[in-house]
Amino acid sequence: MAAATYDLLIEQGTDYDRVLTVRSQASGHPPLDLTGCTVRAHVRAHHGADAPLLYDLATGGLAITDAAAGKVALHIPGETSAAWTWRIGVSDLELVDAGGRPLRLLAGAVRVTGEVTR
């Protein structure tokens, strides 16, 4: 399964919240049971081995919130993004099964719109 493209647009200084449903490739695309799995995601300046880490999405709140229903929640606190000096990066979201095998679910750009009012 190829990773889906999913870009993040983050308004600096504002909480960012998304709940994603991971779906099976089976007929009808039912939610995938994520029991025993974990998720991980990074934002980096660019692709490549030397790309600096801009943000570990698990820091703010990346978690499986309803394993049976395939629900993954992402939360980035506004206080966190308010301190960012970067405006663009790349990210992906990986599901790691109970055996330690990763599966890249999403990949895309991360854009931060600069905060003006402080």
The CATH number covering residue 69 comes to 2.60.40.10
Asked if residue 99 belongs to a domain, the reply is yes
Asked if residue 8 belongs to a domain, the reply is yes
Please tell me the total number of residues recorded for the chain in this structure. 118
Asked if residue 21 belongs to a domain, the reply is yes
What is the DSSP secondary structure assignment for residue 18, as one 8-state letter?
E
What mean pLDDT, rounded, does the chain reach? 94
Rounded Cα gap, residues 100 and 8, in angstroms? 26
Q: Is pLDDT at 96 greater than 90 in this prediction?
A: yes
Please tell me the pTM assigned to this model: 0.88
Give the domain extent around 81. Answer: 4-113
Rounded Cα gap, residues 80 and 10, in angstroms? 11
Label residue 24 by pLDDT band (50, 70, 90): confident
Averaged pLDDT for residues 12-38: 93
Asked if residue 64 belongs to a domain, the reply is yes
Cα distances (Å, whole numbers) of residue 14 to 55, 75, 94, 99: 16, 11, 25, 36
What confidence score (pLDDT) does residue 28 get? 84
Asked if residue 9 belongs to a domain, the reply is yes
Rounded Cα gap, residues 104 and 1, in angstroms? 9
